[in-house]
Structure 1
Amino acid sequence: MPQLYPSIRNRRSDELAQLADHHIQQDLQPEDREALKSAARKVSVWTTVGSAIGIGLGLYAAFRLRSSRKTFFEVFRAQEKPTKVVFADGRTESIPDITPLLKPTTLGDFATYFFASAGGLFLGGELGFLAGATSGSSALTGDPERKKRVENAFRRFRADLLRKEADELDKGRSVTEEMF
């Protein structure tokens, strides 16, 4: 049964796309549709730019962190370190050398670059998406009539979607299929 889930999701996705397209074509004027496409492009461009900047800043931060770690190791290695401790009763214990344990490794470098760039991608992408959504939203809400038409089209789409889901549940469709 797990193999059916992706096909169910794809079919459901196609149905939702057709329903949304129907409402876009029926409820909106051509300039409204063009404004929606323009807003979607703004979101896409801002997200892409934010992601690229985030990756770049993440890699820069990783490079700086790696060089700081390397410099710290060089300074630590160059310092004179005690080799034994003499206690008050005259007993002497040797201190192990931990210098090899502090040496930067390739695995540590890889982890630094990977996680810093992934964090930059996430942060930059989210901030870019937020900026793009704000920019696209302001383009759509600038004209009060357009805003009203878009809101009505979305409201009708959402109502049709909920009716369709309610009909499917009333027909006995499994709730677990709907959830997962």
Structure 2
Amino acid sequence: MSSDSIAMFRKSLGPDLAKLADQHMQHDLRQSDRDALQTAASTVSTHTTIGSVVGVALGIFLAYRLRSNRTAMFRTFKAAEQPTSVKFAGGREEPIPDLTPLLKPSTLGDFATYTFLGAGGVFFGGETGLLTGSLRARQQINADRESRERIQSAFRKFQADALRAEADLLDRGRESSYAL
């Protein structure tokens, strides 16, 4: 599992694509367009970070609740009267093993609970934050129609240049480092 599968740790484009994107930002966009894109990017980043923090907090809270309930259930099981043997109709009597030590909550189980629920919370919260941040950033960019059209045009030009560069690399027999 790579770090790109968690929204909070996703990296930017490769250095070649970042340089190409920066050239298009400088030549094809106005300063107000660049500012709008920076604001949108910081909105996505903020939502993703907040979502990840809320997700890990929720995951740890759920792990705590699960551990508390598991401990309470064990105490109840331990306090209840338990049979020690089974008597069959033929008169034969078999002892029942004591399962109490096997049902006792363990440190390893607690560690696994906190780890998996915490990681799940980071994943769920980060992805939810990425989704809400993307929607909010889209609203911000779509607020000004002319700016949106310039940004879309610049992005189309960037995509075309990136695909041309990737095709050139493939024609030369090299691996493409672009992830489009």
Q: TM-score of the superposition, structure 2-length normalised? A: 0.89
User: 1:173 Cα shift?
Assistant: 2.1
The answer to whether the aligner puts 1:58 opposite 2:59 as a matched pair is: yes
Q: How does 1:16-165 map to 2 (within 5 A)?
A: 16-165=17-166
Cα distance in 2 for residues equivalent to 1:68 and 1:54: 21
The change in CA–CA distance for 1:119 and 1:69 in structure 2 (over 3 A counts) is: same
Cα distance in 1 for residues equivalent to 2:138 and 2:86: 69
Q: Which string of whole-angstrom CA distances, capped at 9 and with x for unpartnered residues, describes residues 116-161 of structure 1?
A: 1111111111101111111111100111111111110000000000
Count of aligned pairs: 167
DSSP 3-state at the match of 1:81: coil
* Bigger proportion of residues as helix: 1
User: 1:172 Cα shift?
Assistant: 2.3
Give identity over the alignment, percent: 53
Cα distance in 1 for residues equivalent to 2:86 and 2:40: 70
Cα distance in 2 for residues equivalent to 1:83 and 1:129: 56
| Structure 2 residues not aligned, in runs of 5+ | 1-12
| Structure 1 residues not aligned, in runs of 5+ | 1-11
DSSP 3-state at the match of 2:94: strand
Cα distance in 2 for residues equivalent to 1:178 and 1:146: 27
Q: How does 1:5-16 map to 2 (within 5 A)?
A: 13-16=14-17
Q: TM-score of the superposition, structure 1-length normalised? A: 0.89
DSSP 3-state at the match of 2:14: helix
Q: Which string of whole-angstrom CA distances, capped at 9 and with x for unpartnered residues, describes residues 28-87 of structure 1?
A: 000000000000000011111111111111111000000000000000000001111111
Cα distance in 1 for residues equivalent to 2:95 and 2:170: 74
| RMSD between aligned residues | 1.5
Cα distance in 2 for residues equivalent to 1:152 and 1:73: 63
Cα distance in 2 for residues equivalent to 1:178 and 1:148: 25
Cα distance in 2 for residues equivalent to 1:160 and 1:84: 79
